[in-house]
Copies of this chain bind each other. A is one copy, B any other.
Amino acid sequence: MDTIAPDSYVLVYRDRRRKWLVKPKDTPKLHTHLGILDLTALVGREYGIRAITTLGDELIILKPTIEDLIMKLARRTQVIYPKDLGFMMVKLGVHAGSRVVETGTGSGATTALLAYLVRPGGTVYTYDINPGFQEEAKKNIEKVGLAEAVMFKVRDSRLGFDETGMDAGVLDVGDPWEVIPAMRKALKPSAPMAAITPTTNQAERLVARMKDEGFAAIETLEIMMRNLEARVGMTRPSNHMIGHTAYLTFARSTSGSSNAVESSVAPP
């Protein structure tokens, strides 16, 4: 069983919109509109229990998942959502031991999920041109205990990555087409990459550049998620829905057409 320590993150959960990610050490008393919750009383207990506020309201004490941590890390302006990240991970085939190159680091939300999945044995090499962002992301990644799997680099990734033979790549910058040549050099031939772009114009330019640089299996798509309010006799989709986060573009690196293998025509 997982026991709560003073330094453990706990997710205090009421419903989808009312939840708090806190540590007993930092927030001994959690003040909510439902009353005060004494977090120090949770230390030594296991996750999954219920806790009663001073106003008698019940809250659930959960162990945060990687999704909870990502959502906490994400800046308000961040457009990457778990719906997009989950699909990216499957497309990229990221798993224990993978070596992944990423630019830009941003708030570190994507970095955190990549790091979570490549452990043990793998590494995420994450680049950002902005030292301030990089520093903040580093703190975030440390806070959630994933720093061992991440190498942070402050760099304009258009100038190239230090790594080669990478298993997968992630582009989350405003001008991803400018990084395509560098990405190609960094990736193993056949390796998958993903790029995140909010606008159709970015996707358009990116795909054109990918084709020029010999990437294959290029595909752009968007993922929409809608909640279903499942209640006995009155089930209906949620009125609220996020209309758009970003377009995702996927492609596979290739070794170029110079060394294509010819199929000899078999004699009859």
Contact = CB atoms under 8 A, between A and B. Distances in A.
Contact of A243 (B42, B88, B241, B245): B241
A6 to B, nearest CB: 15
A252 interface: yes
Interface string A224-264: 11111111111111111111110101001111110111111
A62 B219 CA distance: 15
Interface residues of A, number: 108
A117 B259 CA distance: 34
Contact of A263 (B16, B53, B239): B53
Given A241-B243, A263-B52, A200 B230 contact: yes
Nearest to A205: B232
Interface stretch (A43-51, A137-145, A155-163): A43-51
B254 A243 contact: no
Interface in A105-138: 113, 116-117, 119-120
Sort A-B residue pairs by CB-CB distance and give the 7 closest, nearest first: A48-B189, A241-B243, A86-B86, A47-B190, A96-B96, A48-B190, A237-B244
Interface of A: 1-2, 13, 16, 29, 35-38, 41-42, 45-54, 58, 60-63, 65-67, 70, 82-83, 85-93, 95-96, 113, 116-117, 119-120, 165, 188-192, 198-201, 203-204, 206-208, 216-217, 219-245, 247, 249, 252-257, 259-266
Given A16-B219, A220-B227, 19 more contacts: A13-B252, A36-B265, A48-B190, A49-B189, A50-B260, A50-B261, A51-B261, A54-B266, A58-B257, A83-B87, A86-B88, A95-B116, A96-B119, A96-B120, A203-B228, A221-B226, A228-B247, A230-B247, A230-B249
